[in-house]
């Protein structure tokens, strides 16, 4: 158990809909990262937050957005969903900002868009 | 731009045999290198990491990896695999001030009795 929790575990929704994925980092970790894992794109970095502020952005679509709240949990919002958004979405947390820290991954949310 | 290549998509080894999974990276500065393992239906677990210093690093579950700057490689090894090692293995790279992980495409390891 990494200490990172993600809800829900599974999500099935229709095209055009909007969903919210939730992540709670390990106790004390200020950095939260979101990754997408799909068969065709592999594991891709989406976005990073550090203590409530956006820190880095990767291959995140404009239809996707994220935020980190004062209690450090994070949410990834996916809107106008398309079939191609079906994937496993991972959240990871890390305790270091200066330098590179180890990242601890949650179990993921499997999103299926029908 | 940073990138990672894992040339082997799928490897099959016998239980008790040795293992080497290959990883080549591209990064403009000093890389921070990682190996993660993903069991079916699970999240990713960090096996080991290289930041600096000794180029041979030890990890959990009996794994080790060797950093070779001249070859831009960070291969993962285990002297004797167990059936429980069957999983997908990902090599990843990050950098100082750039903490996002860039992953390779993964190597799926199958263990046969």
| HEC secondary structure over A33-78 | EEEEEECCCEEEEEEEEECCEEEEECCCCCCEEEEECCCCCEEEEE
Per the listing, tokens 């900002």 go with: A97
Q: Which residues does A100 contact at the CB level (< 8 Å), separation at least 6?
A: B32, B51, B94, B95, B96, B98, B99
pLDDT band at A101 (very low <50, low <70, confident <90, very high): low
Beta carbons of A38 and A88 less than 8 angstroms apart:
yes
Report the C-alpha gap between A109 and A8 in whole angstroms.
6
Q: State in words which class domain B3-112 has.
A: mainly beta
Per-residue tens of pLDDT for chain B, all 113 residues = 789 999 999 999 999 999 999 999 998 778 899 999 999 878 899 999 998 888 999 999 999 999 999 999 999 999 999 999 999 999 999 887 777 899 999 999 999 99
Among B96, B104, B105, the residue with its CB nearest the CB of A100 is B96
The yes-or-no verdict on residue A96 having pLDDT over 70 is: no
Among A55, A90, A101, the residue with its CB nearest the CB of B44 is A90
CB contacts, 8 Å: B43 with chain A? 2, 4, 90, 105-108
Q: Which residue has the higher pLDDT, A110 or B95?
A: A110
Closest to B60 measured CA to CA, from B98, B25, B87, B41? B87
Report the C-alpha gap between A6 and A75 in whole angstroms.
10
| Min distance B54 CA to chain A CA atoms (Å) | 17
Closest to A31 measured CA to CA, from A66, A60, A62? A66
Res A18: pLDDT = 98
Residues of A at the B interface (Cβ-Cβ below 8 Å)?
Answer: 2, 4, 31, 33, 35, 42-45, 48, 55-56, 58, 90, 92, 94, 96-97, 99-108
Helices (H), ranges, chain B: none
Do you find a cis peptide bond into B26, omega within 30 degrees of 0?
A: no
Q: Is A20 exposed, middle or buried (0-12, 13-18, 19+ CB in 10 A)?
A: middle
pLDDT band at A98 (very low <50, low <70, confident <90, very high): very low
Res A7: pLDDT = 97
| Min distance A53 CA to chain B CA atoms (Å) | 15
| Min distance B65 CA to chain A CA atoms (Å) | 16
Question: Which structure tokens are listed for A3?
Answer: 């200490």
Report the C-alpha gap between A32 and A26 in whole angstroms.
9
Phi (first) and psi of residue B80, to 5 degrees:
-150, 115
Res B54: pLDDT = 86
Residues of B at the A interface (Cβ-Cβ below 8 Å)?
Answer: 32, 34, 36, 42-46, 49, 51, 90, 94-106
Q: Enumerate the domain spans of chain B.
A: 3-112
Report the C-alpha gap between A44 and B49 in whole angstroms.
19
CB contacts, 8 Å: A31 with chain B? 99
For an interface test with B, give the residue of A43, A46, A49, A59 to mutate (most B CBs within 10 A): A43
Q: Do the Cβ atoms of B101 and A108 come within 8 Å?
A: no
Question: Which structure tokens are listed for A35?
Answer: 């990754």
């Amino acid at each position: 158990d990494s200490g990172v929790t993600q809800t829900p575990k599974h999500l099935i929704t229709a095209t055009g809909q909007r969903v919210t994925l939730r992540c709670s980092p390990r106790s004390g970790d200020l950095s939260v990262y979101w990754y997408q894992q799909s068969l065709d794109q592999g594991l891709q970095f989406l976005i990073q937050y550090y203590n409530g502020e956006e820190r880095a952005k990767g291959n995140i679509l404009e239809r996707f957005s994220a935020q980190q709240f004062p209690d450090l949990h994070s949410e990834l919002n996916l809107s106008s969903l398309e079939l191609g958004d079906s994937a496993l979405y991972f959240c990871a947390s890390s305790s270091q900002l200066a330098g590179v820290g180890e990242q601890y991954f949650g179990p993921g949310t499997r999103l299926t868009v029908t | 731009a940073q990138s990672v290549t894992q040339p082997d998509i799928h490897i099959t080894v016998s239980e008790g045999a040795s293992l080497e999974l290959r990883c080549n990276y591209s990064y403009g500065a000093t890389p921070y290198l990682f190996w993660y393992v993903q069991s079916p239906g699970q999240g990713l677990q960090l096996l080991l990491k290289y930041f600096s210093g000794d180029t041979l690093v030890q990890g959990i579950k009996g794994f080790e990896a060797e950093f070779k700057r001249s070859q831009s490689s960070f291969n993962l090894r285990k002297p004797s695999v167990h059936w429980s090692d069957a999983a997908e293995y990902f090599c990843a790279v990050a950098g100082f001030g750039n903490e996002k992980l860039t992953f390779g495409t993964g190597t799926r390891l199958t263990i046969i009795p």
